[in-house]
Homo-oligomer: A and B are copies of this chain.
């Protein structure tokens, strides 16, 4: 089975390494040998044996009928989207680690794959090496999924873990992470939650079977989390994690990316450093969690190659994926019900009473530095905002959602 690889960066070179290191066991699993015939890259690699496979023209790959599977590890929408479409329409299966592409065009590309009886696979686009896409498609098939909540970004989880363990500020840890190469020079995609947003959009679409537009998902990052928030979290026997979540609530579905306080007894609470995990709640199977390395050359490449194996095994059969192009009407952000942890500055004598009057019964939290801190009961986002508005004369130091 001849494969072409698009992109010879970190993940792409990992794909070559995985296929060459484990060729024997991979052949056993795929039922036939897997051979890389071309590697598309703009660059040449004169000192790498891969150089003899390098091509600079995508059409060489597209027009070669021997190539039955194309694996993409370039990222970005252009030219990946056109490449994916062209390959599928030519009857080649397409596997990708490209979360932007899958979040934006997944439903359409799945449909094209179906029409041409080939496969569009994207295990590596969420959770790196963690098997989650295939389990959602093929294992959790007897359940209706009520919730998926994930730690989907390793960089922010690393930062939050360091802030907690070492009592350091966000800025300080981010700077160190940048120096160590764990965070990008422009860290917005990670720390503002944009990366997690694409990933939860993909998981939501698979969970509910219809397209969730990532632009419709309210997204907050971790830049406002302080070391004082971490101290409060510890007092409450909680940790703070950046969570992407989608849940059924009442008769519809909401999705969100935001930092949240979760109890230390929740399985996601122990997921530290650069590890990722995806928690799934089915109406029959109840709680499940999938844990592993959410990024990195070889873990991500392992997932890409597992997709290549699956495409090879399913030559001539489209593996059904329930994700159609109909768009889900997400519940409006302001109608989602949630509890908040709130820190107010300068608690004067009457503040506690005022808070209780405005919010109804709250759970007071032992406060630092003369602050007043509490957890609200569960209420709609819009009601929370209104009530907080009534306290506009008091400075709000933090408001962080609490995972039930």
Contact = CB atoms under 8 A, between A and B. Distances in A.
B287 A292 contact: yes
Given A289-B291, A306-B140, A284 B320 contact: no
A39 interface: no
Given A139-B131, A142-B26, A309-B142, A299 B322 contact: no
A340 to B, nearest CB: 26
**Copies of this chain:** 2
Nearest to A25: B144
A286 interface: yes
Interface in A264-314: 265, 267, 269-272, 275, 282-293, 296, 298-299, 301-306, 308-310, 313
Nearest to A265: B272
Nearest to A305: B142
Nearest to A264: B270
A284 B299 contact: yes
A28 B282 CA distance: 16
Interface in A346-390: none
A70 interface: no
B143 A22 contact: yes
Interface in A118-146: 123, 129-131, 134-135, 138-144
B290 A302 contact: no
Contact of A292 (B271, B275, B285, B310): B285
Contacts of A305: 141-142, 284
A227 B306 CA distance: 45
A290 B132 CA distance: 10
Contacts of A167: none
A388 B299 CA distance: 42
A209 interface: yes
Contacts of A303: 142, 285
Contacts of A288: 129-131, 290-292
A141 B292 contact: no
A327 interface: no
Given A284-B299, A322-B28, A135 B143 contact: no
A30 interface: yes
Given A139-B131, A267-B270, A320 B313 contact: yes
A302 B284 contact: yes
Interface centre among A265, A293, A299 (most CB of B within 10 A): A299
A56 interface: no
A47 interface: no
Interface string A29-69: 11100000000000000000000000000000000000000
A146 B22 CA distance: 13
Given A291-B289, A302-B143, A309-B141, A284 B18 contact: yes
A21 interface: yes
A388 to B, nearest CB: 35
For A131, A209, A291, the residue with the greatest tally of chain B CB atoms inside 10 Å of its CB is: A131
Contact of A144 (B22, B129, B275): B22
B291 A267 contact: yes
Nearest to A289: B291
Interface in A210-261: none
Contacts of A298: 284-286
A35 to B, nearest CB: 15
Given A134-B134, A289-B289, 7 more contacts: A29-B320, A31-B320, A142-B301, A142-B303, A284-B305, A289-B290, A291-B291
11 contacts: A22-B142, A28-B322, A130-B288, A134-B138, A142-B302, A142-B304, A142-B306, A282-B302, A284-B302, A284-B305, A286-B298
Closest 7 CB pairs of A and B: A131-B139, A142-B305, A129-B285, A289-B291, A285-B302, A284-B302, A29-B141
